[in-house]
Chain A
């Protein structure tokens, strides 16, 4: 498959980005280094190109009931200009994808999905839409997306807009914002555990917007630090903590799954799973030595009890930590387990997966 480039490819090269293949896109894994970029977002402000993310527009008079049926969270609770984090599930309760739902109006919703899942998701969404009076458009190639994240994000962006940014509250958005004359949709959302914004613009405007924000002091951040940041904040990544083999209750996402609300695809299965009790769950681990990478086996004695879903030496906490999917009977805080790291079995302890306290402006 031919690799795609986002509208910001030349900007990445110019900023010294080390380009890799990610979900079919040529994107920078890092610029100056993952740790430095990571700390910059935690302490100041960083800028990400997330244009590879997919955007799906749902319009039509049954939009609200359609989206409510599609996803697990309570879409009906949304007011205009509000954003919702949720998952969409298969009938068996496992996850098609996680996504953000933007409500423009009752008959217009904007869904933001993972790059690697665009094709699969769009097919799925269109199939579900057949029985509703809605129009579903894959607009992924019509948007560039930049994420400006970190404690200084608001201060930096404020100088380029003509209204008070505090008007956009956490998980809210504003359309047709002028950023130094460039039109964009701006939401106070992100994937780092810090305050910040996600900015959707036309692809042809993205390069100018990028340069504007970088020149104002935002450090370009690659995919490497995007992953370490979301990991520390315990934000799931599709294919790791959630997948078509893992349901949201196992992943610890029950606050985004409203089983006492309207029906949605997968609800019946999830109600049953909840009644019977989950058999596996995502936990935090602290590893005594080395680094536990995705896929490594976890043992108690000789018995395999699960695997690592993501693991790093945490740049903020300084410890070797991991998220792991393990048998629930062993998922007790403080329990000791072993991680098979190549030929050796390394002791690890189950800890809270709140590795890092999120700094959202709520």
Chain B
């Protein structure tokens, strides 16, 4: 299982790459492996408001639909439309195939997220 150093992680197996008050958001290698072959991603629209804990996107694998949960409050700046044509990119390179770029409304919410080391420990416990 691959984990990248400079990202923040959630217990929902999502990652955030924070740059100032914006962040790229995706799912982790652990998550894509659990989901199996991804065949469709239902992306949110630009300017959609995100509320921490609410599902705002859906990843469909062959077998099932999985809700994607917003890690923090914010606004969608951009959805990765490459995933419309090639959802399998999430399986191939989960840390490059970001799902949305967001603007973070409350940076203090980032404090509850895990760093790479804590996330690895979290996954070890889940397995």
Contact = CB atoms under 8 A, between A and B. Distances in A.
Contacts of A228: 62
Interface of B: 36-37, 39-40, 42, 58, 60-65
Contact of B42 (A35, A312, A342): A342
A60 interface: no
A224 B40 contact: no
Contact of B37 (A35, A290, A293, A341): A35
Given A33-B36, A34-B36, A342-B58, A290 B63 contact: no
A205 to B, nearest CB: 31
A29 B62 contact: no
Contact of A35 (B40, B58, B62, B65): B62
Contacts of A224: 62-63
A290 B60 CA distance: 8
A290 B57 CA distance: 12
B65 A29 contact: no
Nearest to B55: A342
B92 to A, nearest CB: 13
5 contacts: A33-B37, A34-B61, A34-B62, A35-B37, A320-B40
Given A34-B37, A342-B42, A312 B65 contact: no
Contact of A29 (B37, B60, B63): B63
A269 interface: no
Interface residues of A, number: 16
Contacts of A315: 62
Contacts of A293: 64-65
Contacts of B36: 30, 33-34
A34 B64 CA distance: 12
A273 interface: no
SS class of chain A's interface: helix, strand, loop or mixed? mixed
B39 A313 contact: yes
A315 B39 CA distance: 9
Contacts of B40: 290-291, 313, 320
Given A30-B36, A34-B61, 19 more contacts: A29-B63, A30-B63, A33-B36, A34-B36, A34-B63, A224-B62, A224-B63, A290-B40, A290-B60, A291-B39, A291-B60, A291-B65, A293-B65, A313-B39, A313-B62, A315-B62, A320-B40, A341-B42, A342-B58
Interface in A300-347: 312-313, 315, 320, 341-342
A290 B62 contact: no
A33 B63 CA distance: 10
B98 to A, nearest CB: 20
Interface string A11-22: 000000000000
A29 B64 CA distance: 12
Contacts of A313: 39-40, 60, 62
A165 to B, nearest CB: 32
B40 to A, nearest CB: 6
Nearest to A222: B63
A34 to B, nearest CB: 4
A29 B42 CA distance: 24
